[in-house]
Structure 1
Amino acid sequence: MENPSAYGYDLKDEDLYKPLKFKEVELNTSVESFADYATTLGINYKILKLYNPWLRDTKLKIKNGVTYKIKVPEEGSINLIRE
């Protein structure tokens, strides 16, 4: 909404969600299980999907020469899984 006050909304900056802090990881090999892949990144599948809603399946087959960029949370922006 471009002009919320014109519609009776009085939103302040503290009322809005903060943008997610992330870094991008390049992915150039196929992934058989995004749940397992997320664990190697120190996050879980739900967090991976939160940052990458375009992931439509639990796996990804990548053709040669194609690179995808996966968003992952910046260190310290959420509670990451520790081993």
Structure 2
Amino acid sequence: MISKNRLTPSGWAIIVLGAATLALGGCGRKGPLDLPPTANAAPAAAPGDTERERAAQPSVFNPTYGSDAAPAASKGNKRSFVLDPLLGN
């Protein structure tokens, strides 16, 4: 007797892609970045710091830093891209 429940190539592709998605989705750790072994621990913020002083410090996590500064470069010419018709640009 022949089983009719065999997976087709497209069924195997879905299983493999699903397993790859789950495996790659679990890569990495949640939390802050690890410091290099040679780096010293950053000093904690002084209790006298005000919001204005903290806003003036450059940081990856400070979205307001440099927002009042002039742009570093002028806007260039628009170049065409392959997906522009699809994106509506």
Common fold, TM-score beyond 0.5? no
The TM-score bracket by the shorter chain reads: under 0.3
| Structure possessing the higher radius of gyration over alpha carbons | 2
| More RCO (CA 8 Å, sep 6+) | 1
**Which has the larger strand fraction?**
1
With the length of structure 2 as denominator, give the TM-score of the two structures: 0.21
